A and B are shown apart, each in its own frame.
Chain A
Amino acid sequence: MLKDSPVLTLFRGLVLFVLLFLVVVPVFWGLTLAFRTNEEIVKISGITLGTFIPLHFTLDNFGRFFAAVSIFQVFPLTLFVCLSVMVLSLLINALAAYPFARMAFRGKKLLFSIVIATMVLPIEILIVPLYRIVKDFGMMDTVSSLILPFAASGFGIFFLRQFFAGIPKEFDEAAVMDGGGHLTIFFKILLPLARGPLITLGLIIFLTQWDSFLVPVTFISSPDKVVLQVAIFNLYSHIYFNDTAILFAGIFIAAVPIIFLFLAIQKYYVAGISSSGIKG
C-alpha cells in the first residue's frame, strides 16, 4: 500500500465531513418536522437550536396522518403491489433467463436482442401508449395496472442470464443423471445457486416499485387504490394544503422503513451495483 501525505489525509477528512454534513443535516431536519406543530414550523429562523430540533416534541401529526390517509389500507396495498411485482418479476425473469443461458433454439439471437432493446426503453417515454393499452385491457384504475406491466423486465432477464451463464454446465449433469429435465435443472440447481443475485434483483425491483409515482398517479383515480407515494402527494396538494406537519409525518412513514430495509440488506444492493454497474 502507498502512504498518503498528511495534507491529503487532512483534505480527504475535510471533504468527507462536508459531504456527511450535506447529507445528514437535510434528512435529519426533514424528519424532525414530523415531530413539531405547524405553529412551531412556521417560526423556524436563524441558526438556533429551534431550527434543528423540535422545541415542543409532539406525536400528534402521526395520529392526524393515520386518520387522514387510512394508512391501514394504503400501507398494505403499497406492500402488496411492491411484493407482487417483485415475486412475479423474479420468477418470470429467471424462467426467461434460463433458456438464454442454457438452451439452443431457433430465434434465440433475435429474442435476446429484443430483451436487450427493452432494457434501454424507459417507461416514462411509453406512458401514452401504455395508458391506451391499459385502458383497452379494462385495467384502468385497477391495482393490476400497477403490477402486470412490470411483471417482467429486460434488465432482470439480462442480469440473471449473465449469472446463469457463469455457472459451470457440470452442475446440470448431476440433475440429468438422475433423470431430471430442464425444470429440475432450473429449480433444483440454478435457482438455489442464484440466491445472492435474486436477492439483489429483488431489492432493486422492490425499491423501484416503492419509488414508483408517474404510473400510479396516471392510472389510479380511486382514493381507495392509491399507493403511499401518491397518498402523500394527494394529502398535501388536495386536502391538507399548507399543513407541513402532517405532510412530514407521512414523509417519515415513507422514509424510515426504507432506510431500515436498506441497512438490513445493503450488502446485496452494493453487490448488484458492483457486479453489473446498471441501475434498475
Chain B
Amino acid sequence: MTDILLSRQRKLSWSAYLFLAPAFLVIVPFVLYPVFNLFYISLFKASLLGRMKFIGLGNFVSLFTNDDFVSSLSVSAVFMVSVVIIQTVIALFVALLVEAESRRMGLIRTIFFIPVILSFVVVSYLWKFIYNSDFGLLAAIFDGLGVQRQGFLSDPAQALPSLIATCVWKSWAFFMMIFFAGLKEIPQELHECAHLEGANGFQRARYVTLPLLKRTILFVVVVTTMDAVVRVFTPVFVMTDGGPRGATDLLIYFDWRQAFRLGDLGYAASIAVFMFFFVLIVSLIQLNLGKEDHA
C-alpha cells in the first residue's frame, strides 16, 4: 500500500510545482524582487517619477550626517525599548496573576481584546481626542480632580510617552494571550510539588513558572521589538505627524516621509535597508535561541 503511494507520489512530483505556482507568482514579484530592488534603489538618487542616478553609498553617508535621521533613530530606540519593557511586563504580570482563573474569565478576556481587534486608525483617533487638551477625556478628568491640564501630544516632552501608552493600550492583551498559551504547557504537578515544599505564590511564580516560561518571554520580546520598529506608521501619521518638533518622528514614519512627501526614494530605501538588517538580526537571534531550546 505504502509502496503504491510512494511510487504515485514520485510519478506525480512535478505536480508539486503546480501547487506552488500561484503562491510563488505572488511572492516573487511582490516580496522577493522588492527585497533585491530595495538594495538596488538605495544606491541611487531616485525620484518618485522614476529618474535614477547612481551615487554608490551616498545615501548611507548622508544618513549619518543628517541630524533629523539621527534624532529619529534615537526617538525610535527610546520608543522600542519602552514599549518592549512596559508591554511585556504588564502582559506577563496580568497573565501570571489571573492564570488560575484564565478559563473562567471569558467575558473579561473578550473585553481586554477589544483594543487589539480595533483598527489602528480608530485607536489613534480615539486617543488623539482622549489626549486633547481642550475637551479630551483626560483633560476633563484632570479638571475634576483639580490637577493641572497637560499638553500630552502637543507637549514635546509628553508626546512620546503618550504615544507609547496608546500603543501598549492597544496591544498588551494580545501578548497576555500568548503568555496564557505558554503557561498552559507548564504541568500543574510542578506547582503542587513547590507548594508542598512550602513555596508561597510569589516564590512559585519566581522559581517555577518564570524559568519554564523563558521561551515564551523571548518570543514575545522579539515580536514586540519588531512591531515597535515597523508596525507604528499609523499612530504617528494619525496622531502626531511626527511632531511636536520631531518628538514622535519614529523611523518608519521618517522613512515614508522621505519617499512619499519629499520624493526621495533612494534615500528612503537606504533607511529601509537599515531597518531590514535590524529585522534580520532580531530574527536570527530568535532562530538561534529557538534552536538552543530544542536541543
B272 in the interface (beta carbon within 8 A) = yes
Q: How does the 8 Å CB contact mask read for B94-135 relative to A, with 1 for contact and 0 for none?
A: 100110110001001111111101111110011101100011
At the interface with chain A, which of B67-75, B78-86, B153-161, B252-260?
B252-260
Is A239 interfacial (CB-CB < 8 Å)?
A: no
| A213 touching B265, Cβ below 8 Å | no
Q: Is the CB of B177 within 8 A of A47?
A: no
B226-260 interface code vs A (CB 8 A; 1 in, 0 out)? 11001101100110000000000000100010011
Q: Tell me the interface secondary structure of chain B in the complex.
A: helix
Q: Evaluate contact between A182 and B233: CB separation under 8 angstroms.
A: no
A257 to B236, CA, bound (A): 25
Given that A99-B16, A157-B23, A182-B19 are known contacts, is A127 also in contact with B9, CB under 8 Å in the complex? no
Within 8 A of B (CB), among A153-176: 154, 157, 169, 172-173, 176
Contact with B along A92-133 (1 / 0, CB 8 A): 110110110011111010010011001011101111111111
Q: What CA separation (Å) do A98 and B23 show in the bound complex? A: 12
Query: Of all chain B residues, which has the CB nearest A134?
Result: B30
Say whether A121 contacts B31, CB under 8 Å: yes
Give Cα A111 to B275, complex, Å: 24
Q: Which residues 29-88 in B have Cβ within 8 Å of A in the complex?
A: 29-35, 37-38, 41, 50
State in angstroms the CA–CA spacing of A248 and B122 once bound together. 9
Contact call B41/A129, Cβ cutoff below 8 A: yes
Q: Are B181 and A274 in contact (CB-based, < 8 A)?
A: yes
Contacts of B126 in A (CB 8 A): 26-27, 30, 251
Which residues of A118-152 are within 8 A (CB) of B?
118, 120-122, 124-133, 135, 137, 148-149, 151-152
Q: How many residues of B contact A (CB 8 A)?
A: 103
Whether B174 contacts A279 by the Cβ 8 Å rule is yes
Q: Mark A28-49, 1 if CB is under 8 A from B, else 0.
A: 0110010000000111111110
Most chain B CB inside 10 Å of its own CB: which residue of A22, A118, A125: A125
Contact B114–A27 (Cβ < 8 Å): yes
Q: How far is the CB of A114 from chain B (nearest CB, A)?
A: 7
The size bracket of the interface on A is: 35 or more
Residues of B within 8 A of A133 (CB): 29-30, 33-34, 37
Contact of A214 among B41, B192, B233 (CB under 8 A): B233
A contact residues around B113 at 8 Å (CB): 262, 266
Could you tell me if A149 and B12 are in contact, using CB atoms closer than 8 angstroms? no
A23 contacts the other chain (CB 8 A): yes
- Measured between C-beta atoms, what is the minimum distance from B228 to chain A in Å? 12
Q: How far is the CB of A222 from chain B (nearest CB, A)?
A: 16
CA separation between A229 and B144, bound complex, in Å?
A: 34
Q: Which residues of B contact A1 (CB under 8 A)?
A: 100, 188
Residues A246-280 near B (CB distance < 8 A): 247-248, 251, 254-255, 258-259, 262-263, 266, 269-270, 273-275, 277-279
CB–CB B145/A47 < 8 A: yes
Give CA–CA (A279, B223) in the complex, Å.
8
